[in-house]
A and B are shown apart, each in its own frame.
Chain A
Amino acid sequence: MRRLLIRDHVVHVALAAVLLLPLAFAFTGPGSADEVFGDSAARVELFQVLARSSWIGLGATAVALLLGLPAGWALARRPRASWWGAWCALPLALAPSVAVSGWLHWFAPGYVKSSFGQALAEGPTWSPIFSAPGVALVLGLGFWPIVAFETWPAFRRARGEGYEAALLAGSPLRAFFHVALPMARGEWVAGALLVFMLATGDFTVSSLLLVRTLPIHVHDFLAQGRNGAAAWAALPLAALIAVTARVLLRVQRTAAEVHGEATADHTKTCSSSSRWADGMLLTGIVLGFVLPLGGCLDGVLRGGQSIRAAFAEGWDALFVSVRLAAAAAIAVVVLSALRVVFWPEMRARSLHAASLLLLLIPGPFLAAGLLLQSVQAADLFDHMGRAGSWLQNAAPAGLLLCAGYVLRFLYLPLRLTDEALKALDPALLEAAELAGHTRMARGLGIALPQVWGSLLVAAALVFVLTLGELPVAVKLAPPGVLPASVWLFSQQHLGYTESVFGLSLALGGVAVAVLAGTTALLLRWRRASELRLG
């Protein structure tokens, strides 16, 4: 049964437009297209930074595919909720600036020990990591779990009798490349596109490794107050992202159609071991998480300060970030729950597309748009008199920043709840509909209890990603509110002290704790269900 009402689609499109409103506001600031496209030097510079961003995107995608495909294959032998899934998420959960701290500790110790100004004066001769390939490598090592998670369900389906038949006719690697990989083509292409766009729009790693990319070009315009020019500068990247996002959504949709709407795994899975894939999965975790975090730990231990002192300096910033991340996680869960309750039987494609764009657009661009929108809202409140000033005073200090985080990461809960709803047996909702229950009652009574696990995972992911988010935080943090990522970023520009490594380590520790806690909760729930089944 899919009697989709046109009215619901209109509501979705309207909500998507509201979500994208900040991007339109980004064009309203001072500065014009002439500053970006006016003279040939400006055009050449724009082309250079766009090309560099694209190369970084391609390089990161290659690294992510190299590690993510075997990892997805290794995960496919394991249940959906397992410790392996949590460990696999660790490189993604590690804040980019933390990863940079760790890598620089290992590969550019000279740079780490010098102050930023001194290092700059000496020139970029410290290490090959300060290059576009270096940025691509660091990003690829952080983003490979995206490919693994995208391909996981498809590989589970592929590990059926067809793969077993191929195993009888050749080696596991041959069976993987000739049977499993083509069967999961839609999914790994989707993962690759997602990584490409995230890496192309990266600001944090490029900035810390001193590689000038388009997001930094945009950020520089914003720093000069030339918001309009920044928006125009971001336009080529935004267009590239919009086109790739369109392709991505199309690929995801085609993959769902090929394999049927239900993503629940009903197929028999092959239990044959794939040591090479397990090995690549472990390599990915070591390179993407253990080594960078190990670098931070080494940085703390080898520092002159006591360990307590190393952690003490960034403690307040970490506490601020944890509170903001918790608020963002709660907000996205509430929004996703509302989506489930209002539209339990409907895909939210417009919202999906809008939130994907917000995830992929360069962070400074989104932040500038939100800031300009809030300035206009403040002007409006001023005209409203006492009621307006009451509203302004009532808003908490970090509200705008929290809204920025929510917009940035809304794609994750929407995607996860959509996947969970797709996996639901339609008869569950139809039976409730036949009993006369309204759509909201069906959403609240039947759909929501079935997708809470996905909401929990989404909350955990949003929490850890918010902790490390920089471009939005650096622009939207109100006076007196200093999130950990901003504190870390500014300290990293002054020098890599024990405090920098201490906070990096603490951020990594929080990410591990949150992912481990969430997995433990999910596994406990699953075990309780299995016990009830006897």
Chain B
Amino acid sequence: MSRLEINGLAKTLGTGERVAVLREVSLSVPAGLCLGIKGATGSGKTTLLRLIAGLETPDAGEIRIDGLVVSALKILVPPGQRRIGFVFQNLGLWPHLSVEGHLDFVLAASPLGGAERVRRKRELLGTFHLGGLEHRRPGELSGGERHLLAIARAVASDIRVLLLDEPFEGLDGRLRDLVIQALGRLRRQRGLTTVLVSHDVFELRALCDQLIYLREGRVVGTPKPLSSAHGIHDADARSGGTDA
């Protein structure tokens, strides 16, 4: 299980007029727990996840995983060496690879042995209801199945931290419940430290242990435990969050 710590993280984007997307963001996710992030469109949620994954470099501040600095001003551990899984908002599936091809491609880069890879692949296909669809490409899958494939791909190798950027958008209620249950089980089994960006109260309640709000690139208040007496709606109202 891995602890995720972020201290004073700042990031500006844009080529001409640069816009501060994140300002002095500090937070900590205890090992094995799930942190939910809520915030309006443009509040910096996705950028925060991309910085954690190492897909962007911070302008200031640092990110630590298990106490080791993975991102700082002059330090950047390559994304592939961070052991992080990422479910992108637009999924980012590989159109030319089948379901099996997706999992094989990820597992090929992992240190798992041949037999273990086969076992892991079978397990993922079962867990995410992708059995029987192994040879289909993303274009031949339904919207829900594509989401499942994106999540299965993200957790295929031995990751320490799982980043989910609105991963359930477009899933119908029954399928969403199934996926959330499967993800919850997987998180507990592997002790995955998780960060979930979502607008949906149900998803946040079902998966997360703590919740933070981002507004204009800043964390508003302190992380709220989702089991506390304060409901999400109350906290949302206090933070002034206006979800798009």
Binding site for B on A (CB under 8 A): 1, 3, 257, 425-428, 430-438, 441, 445-446, 449-450, 529, 532-534
Contacts and interface: CB of A to CB of B under 8 A. Distances in A.
14 contacts: A425-B90, A427-B88, A428-B93, A431-B92, A432-B105, A434-B80, A434-B82, A434-B86, A435-B153, A436-B80, A436-B157, A437-B80, A438-B80, A534-B140
Contacts of B57: 3
Interface of A is mostly: helix
Given A1-B55, A1-B56, A532-B137, 11 more contacts: A431-B88, A431-B94, A434-B53, A434-B55, A434-B82, A435-B105, A436-B80, A437-B108, A445-B105, A533-B140, A534-B140
B72 interface: no
Nearest to A530: B139
How many B residues are at the interface, by size bracket?
35 or more
A428 B94 contact: yes
A434 B84 contact: yes
Contacts of A257: 15
Contacts of B44: none
A533 B78 CA distance: 35
B85 interface: yes
Between A433, A437, A533, the greatest number of chain B beta carbons within 10 A of the residue's beta carbon is seen for A433
Contact of A427 (B84, B90, B96, B157): B90
A449 B140 contact: no
Interface in B89-138: 90-96, 105-106, 108-110, 137
Contacts of B40: none
A435 B106 contact: yes
Given A441-B109, A529-B139, A534-B140, A435 B80 contact: yes
A436 B81 contact: yes
B153 A431 contact: yes
A427 B49 CA distance: 13
B109 A436 contact: yes
Interface string B53-82: 111110000000000000000001011111
B50 interface: yes
Nearest to A534: B140
Contacts of A437: 80, 105, 108-109
A192 B181 CA distance: 59
Nearest to B55: A1
A436 B83 CA distance: 8
Between B53, B109, B156, the greatest number of chain A beta carbons within 10 A of the residue's beta carbon is seen for B109
Given A3-B76, A434-B86, A428 B92 contact: yes
Contact of B157 (A3, A435, A450): A435
A441 B140 CA distance: 25
Between A257, A428, A534, the greatest number of chain B beta carbons within 10 A of the residue's beta carbon is seen for A428
